[in-house]
Structure 1
């Protein structure tokens, strides 16, 4: 009896343990696109279920590369002060095939490791060859619209490298093909009602090894990049007509949601450009109907920059992968997309004035006050031109854009009368504390920036064939400037150009590639 009780106890324990095991391994419910109780077609962002996306603080030194790897661990929040352009050359070759198809192929040149360089160029070749075959992408139902007997009327394959920084490149190659379907009676294909198929291939590559990168490589190790991207995709869906019947032209992708959006996978197709991340949706995303054409959703770097690892993970200072020196810097492009825009047309006597104002809605109050006062500086011109005996047309503009920690304000007033052009322009650049910058704030003390800028002014006078006895020193004294992502832009005070070309300023554009990054303080 004792043995029997002991046996029953053992069996009971095993059954309870097995029951607990089954409960712990039961599958979770799938996340589906939720709809609010209002009945409106609003899509909710799915929740990512990725245990690798941890928000816990790292226990290792994030500045140290992983063991036996050039990669660095990167943890958010990330501050991107600048980017390092890769000093590679990109060569292009046009290929035309009897007018029926055209290609513009390209390859990179300039890596020290020629094996890696050849491997990257082979990746590019493979994409072109894949498009060149004119095989239809495997969309559901495409053969019913474009049967095998269809004829290619014309195809164009082109591409470029839209991101080329910090030992990473992103390649975007696109194909546009027009097909003529056969007649219903099986006759010769007709081209008066062609069917179009557009394809996009994006690949991002590590120049250290030639390895293809995934989305997870682009983001910091401790962020849930899947959820971040799903939120942006859901926003694009809800702000487009994706859940409505019919197709419409909007600022958002022209696709239709035909099944619940459950979120992207880690293999989601994408590419980078110099201002943001572009997600590519095609037959691999069957929940969208994009009419056999790859479509994209763009996410500005400004919206995700604190979570990006792309500028740090594959770049190691002091290790130059290139045949040329890697000593240039630029600012990451991208910025606020929520803008206030106002356009007005007014008549003052014989003056017809068009005014335009544009600035980010996120500007602080003190900068807004400066902007609102700027139009009054041109009131004297308006009063004078309104009394003209003949009709006068004029434009007045104020625009604000932000580059990294700098805020640029550009304003101007131009008029055209009796074949004469007249214009005034001003530029103001503020730092992160909204202090107005001076020219000496841009450069280190040991650099002869005054001589350098005066030389560039002289070149512009020669380029525009301005032979007036204008003083370079006087033009320099009145200089104003703004900071662009890849250049400094200076503007002189207006002066008479002679030869009946009116009175206007000269713009002096100085790319950062014309300067040594160590001579600039703005990257500090």
Structure 2
């Protein structure tokens, strides 16, 4: 029986997560970019197709450096305009960081936060990218895949978020009602599904990035077991390998 057909066990993915950091300091522009890349361990019970991992790595790398290079161009133009209008030059600072939030059952969920500050104020930009990959197929998956078939997941998620908004109406824009799309932004953690929205989308910018966690233990009947792990049902790759040898 394949591991993902079992409802009672979760397995760590046997992949190595490399920490990458690139930084630079100039007179009016500085940056510190932190982002992950993923590789196979040798001699494990299963190897992810390296082309799949290369696609993930190149996608994240491209997004991080596209963000940074876009701010390089913006800073140059802003300061050219400032010089022409006898305004003081401004200093840009770009920071990215990341977290691997779920890495089990051949499911990989990663987030990268992209931020830019001007004169140490802000952030002027604050974006959160998510990368949710099925390592067996090599494809990104949408939030509908996390739920069991025939579950009206859009209704389930929207009702939950609207319930949470109504509990703290003062934090959000007046009369905010959410009806999530099929490509709703999200990422997975060991605790549940985190639904999030962009700056100034459903709440004032100073609120930051609004996030709502749908805990697995509260929504278990709706969740595809492949995405639902608890500390009690996680197997290590070593334990799995010993089972395969029997």
TM, length-normalised to structure 1: 0.37
1:201 alignment counterpart:
129
Q: Separation in 1 of the partners of 2:142 and 2:238?
A: 34
Indicate whether 1:304 and 2:201 are aligned.
Answer: no
Aligned to 1:105: 35
TM-superposed deviation, 1:263: 1.1
Per-residue deviation, 1:113: 2.0
- Decide whether the 8 Å contact of 2:109 with 2:187 is kept in 1: yes
1:170 is matched with: 109
Count of equivalent residues: 217
Are 1:114 and 2:50 an aligned pair? yes
Partner secondary structure for residue 139 of structure 2: coil
What stretches of structure 1 of length at least 5 have no aligned partner? 1-62, 64-70, 73-78, 136-147, 181-190, 245-254, 313-330, 334-402, 405-484, 487-511
**Residues 80, 305 of structure 1: 8 Å contact kept:** no
Paired residues of 2:17 and 2:37 also in contact (CA < 8 A): yes
**Aligned to 1:311, what secondary structure does the other structure show?**
helix
The structure-2 alpha-carbon separation of the partners of 1:292 and 1:123, relative to structure 1 and needing over 3 Å to count, comes to farther
Report the Cα distance in structure 1 between the residues aligned to 2:109 and 2:140, rounded to whole angstroms.
Answer: 10
- Alignment partner for residue 227 of structure 1, among 155, 159, 162? 155
Q: Which has the higher contact order (CA 8 A, sep 6+)?
A: 2
User: Which whole-Å CA distance do the structure 2 matches of 1:220 and 1:108 have between them?
Assistant: 28
CA distance in 1, matches of 2:49, 2:14: 14
What residue number does 2:141 align with? 213
Normalising by structure 2, what TM-score? 0.74
Counterpart for residue 295 of structure 1: 210
Look up the match of 1:157. 96
CA deviation string 1:243-282 (max 9, x = no partner): 32xxxxxxxxxx5224531411111101111221111200
Question: Contact 2:110 / 2:131 at 8 angstroms: preserved in 1?
Answer: yes
Residue 119 to residue 229, structure 1, CA distance change in 2 (3 Å): same
- Determine which structure has the larger helix proportion and give its number: 2
1:263 to 2:179 alignment: yes
Is the CA contact (8 Å cut-off) linking 1:279 and 1:298 kept in structure 2? yes
Query: Cα deviations across residues 48-102 of structure 1 (Å, max 9, x unaligned)?
Result: xxxxxxxxxxxxxxx9xxxxxxx99xxxxxx942211111111112212128321
